[in-house]
Amino acid sequence: MIQSLMNNTPTPQQNQTLLPGALMAIGAFSLWALFPIYWKQLGGVGAFEILNHRVLWSAVLMIGGMLIAGRSSSFRQALANPIGRRSILIGSLVLGTNWLFFLVAVNTGHVLHASLGYYINPLISIFLGMVVLKERLSPLQITALILAAIGVLVLTIGYGIFPWLSLVLSGSFGIYGLNKKLSPIDANTSFTLEMALLLPVMGGAVLIRLFAGDGSFLNGNPSQTWYLIGAGIVTTVPLLLFSYGAKRIPLSMVGFIQYITPTGMLLLGVLAYREEFSTAQVTSFLFIWIALAIYTISLFKRNSA
Spatial contact of 153 and 283, defined as CB atoms under 8 Å apart:
no
- Residue 276 pLDDT level (bands cut at 50, 70, 90): confident
Identify whether 2 is part of a domain: no
The region, left, alpha or beta by phi > 0 then psi within -120 to 50, assigned to residue 70 is left
Task: Say how many CA atoms lie within 13 Å of 57 toward its Cβ.
Answer: 19
Identify whether 30 is part of a domain: no
Identify whether 20 is part of a domain: no
Convert the pLDDT of each residue in 134-172 to its tens digit.
888 888 888 988 998 898 888 888 767 778 999 999 999
Convert the pLDDT of each residue in 167-202 to its tens digit.
999 999 889 988 888 889 988 899 999 999 999 999
Separation of alpha carbons 132 and 252, rounded Å: 22
pLDDT at position 249 is 80
Number of domains observed in the structure of the chain: 1
- Residue 11 pLDDT level (bands cut at 50, 70, 90): very low
Instruction: Provide mean pLDDT across the span 235-252.
Output: 83
**Position 90 pLDDT exceeds 50:** yes
Separation of alpha carbons 233 and 35, rounded Å: 12
Separation of alpha carbons 187 and 236, rounded Å: 12
Instruction: Provide mean pLDDT across the span 243-248.
Output: 81
DSSP 160: S
Identify whether 248 is part of a domain: yes
**In sequence order, what are the residues at sequence separation of 6 or more whose Cβ sits closer than 8 angstroms to the Cβ of residue 118?**
169, 170, 173, 258, 261, 262, 265
Identify whether 21 is part of a domain: no
- Enclosing domain of residue 75: 36-304
pLDDT at position 9 is 38
Spatial contact of 106 and 114, defined as CB atoms under 8 Å apart:
yes
Identify whether 3 is part of a domain: no
Convert the pLDDT of each residue in 29-54 to its tens digit.
999 999 999 999 998 899 999 999 99
Spatial contact of 238 and 52, defined as CB atoms under 8 Å apart:
no
Identify whether 25 is part of a domain: no
Separation of alpha carbons 133 and 130, rounded Å: 6
Spatial contact of 197 and 92, defined as CB atoms under 8 Å apart:
yes
